[in-house]
Amino acid sequence: MELWVIITLAAAAVQTVRFMLQKQLRSAGLGTGGATFSRFLFAAPLAAALAGALIVASGAPAPGMPARFWAFALSGGLMQVIATFATVALFAERNFAVGIAFTKTETVLVALFSLAVLGEAVSLAGFAAILIGVAGVILLSRPPGAAGGSPWNRASALGLLAGAAFGASAIGYRGASLALEGGGFFLRAALTLAVVTASQTIGMALWLRLTEPGALGRVMASWRKTALVGITGMLGSLGWFTAFTLQNAAYVRALGQVELVFSVLVAWLVFRERSSGRELAGIALIALSIAAIVLLA
């Protein structure tokens, strides 16, 4: 099994844990903004420490950071903040597993963004595998118990927003990592992560100070819970960034849909939620898509 596959599977598992913790934080009174900010606050110093340690251990100068790197890194960071806001808000609309599924519309968008921005295309067979996964997402797109009518509602809008923003962030992160001048793949991933999380923390702190007075204090007061979100967030992001450095972002995100399987298990075991037959059929299609991606990429 290729290294990027192992790293992606690990990143998806850790991210599922992080989303579970964020859902609990939102229900504990931190709100969407506070739960989102907690994901970055404690991740930033950890990422900076890791990048610094890797630079020192390498014994070589830090990789050069051209303007192209900063453009990709900062835009990718902004898109991830928007996507995380939308995802946390989505938890109030649907059950946990289906809420995560909505964000998986990103896979086709990542393939298109990758071609348009980075000039990296996926094969026809690979794109077909991605479309199978999208078909699974469509089966998961209707509210529970809906027998007909339009699938478009607040939940689907939030999911599509999250998917598009996550897709744009993935392209930004791969572009930033590849733009660095020098360093091995792990150092480039860690340095990109350090820059991104620092910018996200500063930006979100200013935003919350202006829009949600008291939110910063509530996050800090709940540091025992929020720190765990930050740690899992940093580990998950490090996995994604490393995989993006090694492989086309479209394939990484498509394989990352295995997170749906993990989220269903969390929904069953932690939140005591259940999925319908239609939702399970959608998950089966996504599992088929994941298997095809592993074989084709």
Average pLDDT for runs of 10 along the chain of length 297? 90 82 64 74 89 92 95 95 81 60 77 90 89 77 51 72 91 96 93 95 89 82 76 89 94 83 72 72 82 80
CA–CA gap between residue 151 and residue 12 (Å, rounded): 27
CA–CA gap between residue 130 and residue 2 (Å, rounded): 19
40 within domain boundaries: yes
Whether the CB-CB separation of 250 and 72 falls below 8 Å is answered with: no
158 within domain boundaries: no
- Total number of domains constituting the chain: 1
180 within domain boundaries: no
175 within domain boundaries: no
165 within domain boundaries: no
262 within domain boundaries: yes
State the DSSP string of 172-185.
Answer: HHHHHHHHSBS--H
CA–CA gap between residue 56 and residue 63 (Å, rounded): 12
Residue span of the structural domain in which 10 resides: 3-58+69-143+187-296
Helices (H), the chain: 3-25, 31-41, 43-58, 67-90, 96-102, 106-113, 124-139, 154-179, 185-211, 215-221, 223-246, 249-255, 259-269, 277-296
CA–CA gap between residue 229 and residue 40 (Å, rounded): 8
112 within domain boundaries: yes
**3-state class of 63 per DSSP?**
coil
Q: pTM (2 decimals)?
A: 0.82
CA–CA gap between residue 80 and residue 166 (Å, rounded): 6
CA–CA gap between residue 57 and residue 196 (Å, rounded): 22
162 within domain boundaries: no
